Amino acid sequence: MIRIQNVVERPHRVELTVNGQPISAFAGESVAVALLAAGIRILRLSPRAETPRGLLCMMGTCQECIVRIDGRITQACLEPARDGLVIDLGGAQNG
């Protein structure tokens, strides 16, 4: 896990569930950042070509980071991490 250590004060840790697997995040960081820190780079497959899609703009413009969070479709870069979020990466296989 890549994290800045001992330089900034971080909020408390929260646990997210991604495709049935738990990952740890800091409360308030974007879900996109939490996924990237956990080594998850592929967030979904494109609907037509089924090519991998991941993080691009990180500011809500491109919509490449669309995922399903707690049953609703949203952009991972705009969603703050909270304890208990359930994230579905739409069939993307990571690992």
CA dist., res. 72 & res. 87, Å (int)? 9
Are 90 and 40 a contacting pair, CB within 8 Å? Answer: no
Domain spans of the chain, in order of start: 13-88
Record the pTM.
Answer: 0.84
pLDDT one-digit tens code per residue, 10-67:
889 999 999 999 999 999 999 999 999 999 999 998 889 989 999 999 999 999 999 9
Instruction: Give residue for tokens 């669309």.
Output: 66
Whats the size of the chain, residue-wise?
A: 95
Residue 8: which pLDDT band, with cuts at 50, 70 and 90? Answer: confident
**CATH code given to domain 13-88:** 3.10.20.440
